[in-house]
Amino acid sequence: MQHSSLNASSDRDAGQMLLATGVVLLMSLLSMAIFGVKVAGLTLPHDTASDGVIVTAQEVTAGLPELVEARTQLWIDGGLEPLEAGETAMDGVHNDMLHHGEVRGIEVKMINIQVTETDAATLTFTGELGVSDGDAIMTVPLNFSITHE
């Protein structure tokens, strides 16, 4: 009898040590996770006075013509007609902007985009850019032309 109670006591002590080790490891992982979140800046409070909508709208309108022109040329080089290449390029840019906006917490949409062939080497893009972050909404008219080879 005495042997089995000694064995049970030893098992209980081993179980408690295992549990203590597990708790220490869990606390270490939790502290590393909290540190990682702080480093990533995810604990910063949402600033309702943020100018993210304005900055994003400016960045998109400034970079859009060059990006669409480069992608259109890639599609033309790939064998598409210029008008179809321009439409495909703009669709791809719009999808990228939607995804990029989701990552930053800002919604970016291209609305009523029309692509027209001005002449044999020029495409004109018109429409609106809509940007919102849950606190502010901004629409900016889009109107730019690109040239292709």
Give the pLDDT confidence of 67-94 residue by residue, as tens digits.
999 999 999 999 999 999 999 999 999 8
Q: Give residue 104's pLDDT.
A: 66
Q: What's the pTM?
A: 0.63
* Structure-block tokens of residue 8: 């049970």
Burial bucket for residue 66 (CB in 10 Å: 0-12, 13-18, 19+): exposed
Q: Which residues pair with 129 in a beta bridge?
A: 110, 140
What's the DSSP call for residue 138?
A: E
Could you tell me if 60 and 101 are in contact, meaning their C-beta atoms sit under 8 angstroms apart?
no
Q: Give residue 43's pLDDT.
A: 45
Q: Give residue 24's pLDDT.
A: 78
Q: Give residue 91's pLDDT.
A: 92
pLDDT beneath 70: ranges in the chain: 1-6, 31-50, 100-104
**What is the domain partition of the chain in residue ranges?**
1-44, 52-147
